[in-house]
Amino acid sequence: MAEEFDKERREFLKQSVLSVGKTVYEYYEQQKEAQVEVGPPVPPVKVRADWLRPPGAVEEELFLDRCTKCGDCLPACPYGSIKKDQANGYPVLFANESACYLCDDFPCIAACETEALLPVGDRTEVRMGMAVVSRADCMGDQGCRFCLAKCPVGALSVDFIDAYPVVDHEKCVGCGVCEQVCSGVNDRIAIKVISGRFEATKRP
* Band (10; pLDDT cuts 50, 70, 90): low
User: In 3-state terms, what secondary structure has residue 203?
Assistant: coil
Number of domains the chain contains: 1
Q: Is residue 16 part of a domain?
A: no
Instruction: Examine residue 114 and state whether it is found in any structural domain, yes or no.
Output: yes
pLDDT more than 70, % of the chain: 73
Q: How many helices (H) and strands (E) does the chain have?
A: 6, 6
Instruction: Assess if residue 201 is contained within a domain.
Output: no
pLDDT of residue 13: 47
End-to-end CA separation in angstroms for the chain: 107
* Whether the Cβ atoms of residue 165 and residue 140 lie closer than 8 Å to each other: yes
SS3 call for 92: strand
The structure's pTM equals: 0.72
Is 30 a member of any domain? no
| Structural domain contains residue 3 | no
Amino acid identity for residue 167 in this structure: V
Residues 140 and 187 sit within 8 Å (Cβ to Cβ): no
Which stretch of 53-57, 98-102, 161-165 has the lowest confidence by average pLDDT?
Answer: 161-165
In a domain, 47, yes or no: no
Full domain range(s) for residue 125: 60-195
Confidence class for position 186, pLDDT limits 50, 70, 90: confident
pLDDT, averaged across the chain: 83
Distance of CA 28 to the CA centre of its chain: 40
What confidence score (pLDDT) does residue 41 get? 66
* 11 has pLDDT over 80: no
Rounded Cα–Cα distance for residues 43 and 192 (Å): 28
List, in order, residues 6 or more apart from 62 with CB less than 8 Å away: 116
Asked if residue 32 belongs to a domain, the reply is no
Count Cα atoms within 13 angstroms, Cβ side, for 183: 13
Confidence of residue 154 (pLDDT cuts 50, 70, 90): very high
Cα atoms in the 13 Å half-sphere on the side-chain side of 65: 5
Residue 40: pLDDT above 60? yes
Distance CA 96, CA 179 (A): 5
pLDDT of amino acid 24: 52
Which has more pLDDT, 130 or 7? 130
Residue 53 and residue 63 in contact, taking contact as beta carbons nearer than 8 Å:
yes
What CATH number did the domain enclosing 185 receive? Answer: 3.30.70
Q: Please answer whether residues 178 and 193 qualify as being in contact, where contact means their C-beta atoms are separated by less than 8 angstroms.
A: yes
Q: What pLDDT is recorded for position 164?
A: 94
pLDDT number for residue 202: 43
Model pLDDT for residues 61-105, shown as the tens digit of each residue: 999 999 999 999 999 999 999 999 998 999 999 998 999 999 999
Looking at per-residue confidence, does 176 or 196 come out higher?
176
In a domain, 86, yes or no: yes
Q: What is the pLDDT of residue 20?
A: 47
State the Cα–Cα distance between residues 74 and 83, nearest whole angstrom: 6
